[in-house]
Amino acid sequence: MFRGRFFLFVQVFFCCLFLTVAGCGKKESSKNDESAVKVWHWMTDRQAAFEKLADQYYKETGVKVIFETYAPTDVYKNKITAAASGQLLPDIFNPLSDKRELASYIKAGFIENLNDEMNKGWKDVFFEKSLVQNMFEKNNEWGVEPGYYGVPLDVSSLMIYYNKDLFAKAGLDPNKPPKTWNEFIEAGKKLRAAGIQPFVSGFGEAWLVGSLASSYQWNLFGKQGILDTIQGKITYTDPRWIKIFELFNEMKENKMFASGIVTMINKDAERTFATGKAAMALNGSWGVNVYKSMNPSLQYGIMYPPSLPDAKYPLLVFGGDGSSMFVNAMSPKKDKAIAFLKWFTQREQQSFLAKETLNIPSNKESAQDLPEILKEFSKSIDQTFENLPMIESWQVTNYINTNLQSVIIGEKTPKQAAEEVQAEKERQMKVEK
Amino acid sequence: MNSFKTKKQILDFITHAILLAVAVTCIFPVFWMLSSSLKTQEEIFTKMTLLPEVWQWSNYVDAFVKAEFGMYFLNSVIYTVVGVSAIVLITSMAAYGFARLEFWGKNFLFYLLISTLLIPIPGVFVPLYLLLKKLALLDTRTGLLLCYISGALAFGLFLLRSFFEDLPKEIEEAALIDGCSRFGIYWRIALPLAKPAIATLVILQCLAIWNEFLLALVVLQDKAKMPIQRGLMVFQGTFITDYPLLMAGLTIATIPIVIIYLLMQKHIVKGIAAGALKG
């Protein structure tokens, strides 16, 4: 009898609790400061630095800015997609999308064109390359109104880190990293002979292997050549493309790759390099912060991917915009949001952010305040890929990346890989027609 | 006889060795979590030791303060207690109805509800978001709770219906003859007899709600309403994960769920077998 009553009491109690909590809903919502500028970002490790700057901005202007960070990035992206569907995007956000998807956000009226503001002198504070990635040129293939849309908060580039101690151990000069392809292969041979894995990267993440290949695409084809390839005027069976696949084959033949590189995610590759288990690592400028956190005593330098002797064009590296923010065109507070972003990208704020997060700021003047290794990275920003008015279809890009992986594991010859990519390109061209 | 004994001993030894190996593989991640929670970040990456060189107890304080666990912890307790109570109440009534009442389209409706188990949560983010917006329940605890409750109904129905179906009808018929109402039978007879299945449902739903993160992140915007998993997110940056604090935070977040599991474990095997095998 007692147990029955107790059970009933528990049920009633929880029902009441449920109703109480349910009733709280609207009251809680009204607590939110509606006049505050809301920013959604995905880098949770920057929350504290963002909040400090927001506090400073509030003291200076009386405008409250609320940073909300959501990670991992796929959850953040889901949140943005859902909020866009419900027209509930915050005042400042980033859809974390490629240019094609970004164009769809702009055309749907979610992102403000900042051309007028940028042309009033704002754009001059940034590294040029950090702006172009979120800029749309005239006659772009997506039909977006030309102009600047993104406000870069930081920049990044992809370089090769090398471990100075391991270089010395293999009899290589730690202050003279390889500059040409042949020197690079020779260094790899010496490292392997000394029992050291020469090269690591997160090639399990296809974009990394693709980025390295793209550097050589710029090196061998130049901008026009790349555009001609996208338009189908140059085929992927062109000897220069076969050469790109051969580079990876040559690295494989000379045992340069760390074991398991094709299935390795970048976090594992970073750990491999940070713990001295590989001598060279292709990684972004964010690696400076990562390696410091994993192994503060690691002695390393950085170098460009080695250029090819017969290349006609400069070798460019992946990078430019690190993370950018976009202003919600539908927000009634968009002027406040733009004013905040202008303040946020000034030298003092950017230097503070760079110091706190060990990233390269988008403000080029702040780059002078950086530690030496990041200064070196910042010099490479001008050598990052140029903006293109069109991009290769994602299906073909996927084919390039997976075929590069196949070459690395010896599943395909460079020629076979190039032919497969070309076959996919022809399929996609037919679909487009 | 001796050879039979030897064979049995060898078989026992092999069985125990396999079980031990499985147990070690299950326990090792927990051990690694506890051990890493007391190390420094550098030690985790550069020294492959089982135990920390210097035990960093301060990691627990840092994790608790940095992740604002106090606030998130209370939210998670509310979501778990209210959500699980509502799930038990609603699913037990519905399951009893499906098990004992006859109505048109009963099986069709049941399988329709069960089929919602096949829909992955990320696939419903956008429609759910729009629905909650229309109901003015976005960024509210109620909205999130309703998502949790509706998401668990299919599983609860599946588990409890087969359990109720298996209860002897004679007891209920005797109660009917004695003048007990249908609700009275559910409340006074069926529900107490279904304790093992309910215990299973409680523990599984406690685990699900306590560990849920994706839905909360999409539905809620106000940090003050977020569950405990949001706190753990603080240590997982885009490029860097603060492993010592993350492991300390995970340990803190795991404790309540381990306590609930220990309290209810004796019912669980019984409940799962009853629900799943006959379902």
Residue B236 has its nearest CB partner, among A14, A44, A82, at A44
Chain A residue with the nearest C-alpha to that of B223: A68
Contact A296 B140 (CB under 8 A): no
Instruction: Note the pLDDT of residue A138.
Output: 86
Touching A: B residues 124-153, CB under 8 Å:
125-126, 128-130, 133, 136-143, 145
Scanning the structure block, which residue is given the tokens 């109620």? B142
Q: How far is A314 from chain B (nearest CA, A)?
A: 29
For β-strands A37-41 and A65-69, DSSP reports them as parallel
Distance of alpha carbon A147 from alpha carbon A250, whole angstroms: 43
Contact A21 B82 (CB under 8 A): yes
Distance of alpha carbon A256 from alpha carbon A121, whole angstroms: 47
Cα A404 to chain center, whole Å? 20
Residue B116: C-alpha distances to residues A153, A351, B94, B209 (Å): 42, 51, 16, 18
Scanning the structure block, which residue is given the tokens 């964010």? A286
Contact B41 A293 (CB under 8 A): yes
Two tokens, residue A262? 């094709």
Contact A44 B234 (CB under 8 A): yes
Q: Which of A307, A320, A312 is nearest to A215 (CA)?
A: A307
Chain B residue with the nearest C-alpha to that of A11: B85
- Reported as a pLDDT band with limits 50, 70 and 90, residue A52 is very high
Task: List CB contacts of B152: < 8 A, sequence separation 6 or more.
Answer: B83, B87, B91, B205, B208
Q: How many CB pairs under 8 A join A and B?
A: 135
Distance of alpha carbon A299 from alpha carbon A320, whole angstroms: 26
Chain A residue with the nearest C-alpha to that of B81: A14
Contact B142 A14 (CB under 8 A): no
Q: CB distance from B81 to chain A under 8 Å? A: yes
Instruction: Note the pLDDT of residue A23.
Output: 47
Instruction: Note the pLDDT of residue A75.
Output: 82
- Reported as a pLDDT band with limits 50, 70 and 90, residue A27 is very low
Residue ranges in chain B whose pLDDT is less than 70: 1, 268-279
Answer yes or no: same fold for A35-155+321-383 and A157-318+390-432. Answer: yes
Task: List CB contacts of B181: < 8 A, sequence separation 6 or more.
Answer: none
Backbone φ, ψ for residue B6 (5° rounding): -60, -45
Touching A: B residues 249-268, CB under 8 Å:
none
Structural domain A35-155+321-383, CATH architecture? 3-Layer(aba) Sandwich (3.40)
Q: CB distance from A250 to chain B under 8 Å? A: no
Two tokens, residue B31? 């051990």
Task: List CB contacts of A215: < 8 A, sequence separation 6 or more.
Answer: A158, A305, A315, A316, A317, A318
Instruction: Note the pLDDT of residue B279.
Output: 42
Average pLDDT over chain A, rounded to an integer: 89
The count of other CB atoms within 10 Å of the CB of residue B224 is 13
- Reported as a pLDDT band with limits 50, 70 and 90, residue A29 is very low
Domain extents in chain A: 35-155+321-383, 157-318+390-432
Instruction: Note the pLDDT of residue B26.
Output: 92
Instruction: Note the pLDDT of residue A48.
Output: 87
Confidence check: pLDDT of A359 > 90: no
What length does chain A have? 433
Q: Which of A367, A335, A342 is nearest to A354 (CA)?
A: A367
Instruction: Note the pLDDT of residue A162.
Output: 97
Amino acid (one-letter) located at A277: K
Distance of alpha carbon B107 from alpha carbon B162, whole angstroms: 13
Question: What are A296-347's pLDDT values in tens digits?
Answer: 999 999 999 999 988 999 999 998 877 899 999 999 999 999 999 999 999 9
pTM: 0.77
Whether residue A181 contacts residue A306, with contact meaning beta carbons closer than 8 Å, is answered with yes
Question: What are A147-191's pLDDT values in tens digits?
Answer: 999 999 989 899 999 999 999 999 999 999 999 999 999 999 999
Compute the CA torsion angle A341, A343, A347, A353 (nearest 10 deg).
-60
The ipTM of this complex is 0.70
Residues from chain A contacting residue B224 (CB–CB below 8 Å): 28
Distance of alpha carbon B212 from alpha carbon A155, whole angstroms: 34
CATH topology (fold) of A157-318+390-432: D-Maltodextrin-Binding Protein; domain 2 (3.40.190)
Q: CB distance from A75 to chain B under 8 Å? A: yes
Instruction: Note the pLDDT of residue A388.
Output: 82
- Reported as a pLDDT band with limits 50, 70 and 90, residue A15 is low
Q: CB distance from A129 to chain B under 8 Å? A: no
Instruction: Note the pLDDT of residue B240.
Output: 80
**3-class state of residue B140 by DSSP:** coil
Touching B: A residues 15-44, CB under 8 Å:
15, 17-18, 21-26, 28-29, 31-32, 42-44
Confidence check: pLDDT of A213 > 60: yes
Query: Considering chain B, what percentage of its residues have pLDDT values greater than 70?
Result: 95
Scanning the structure block, which residue is given the tokens 């064009």? A313
Q: Which of B89, B234, B238, B243 to mutate: most A Cβ within 10 Å? A: B238
Contact A45 B81 (CB under 8 A): no
Instruction: Note the pLDDT of residue A321.
Output: 76
Contact A28 B236 (CB under 8 A): no
Chain B residue with the nearest C-alpha to that of A80: B218
Cα B88 to chain center, whole Å? 13
Touching A: B residues 155-194, CB under 8 Å:
187-188, 191-192
Residues from chain B contacting residue A31 (CB–CB below 8 Å): 222
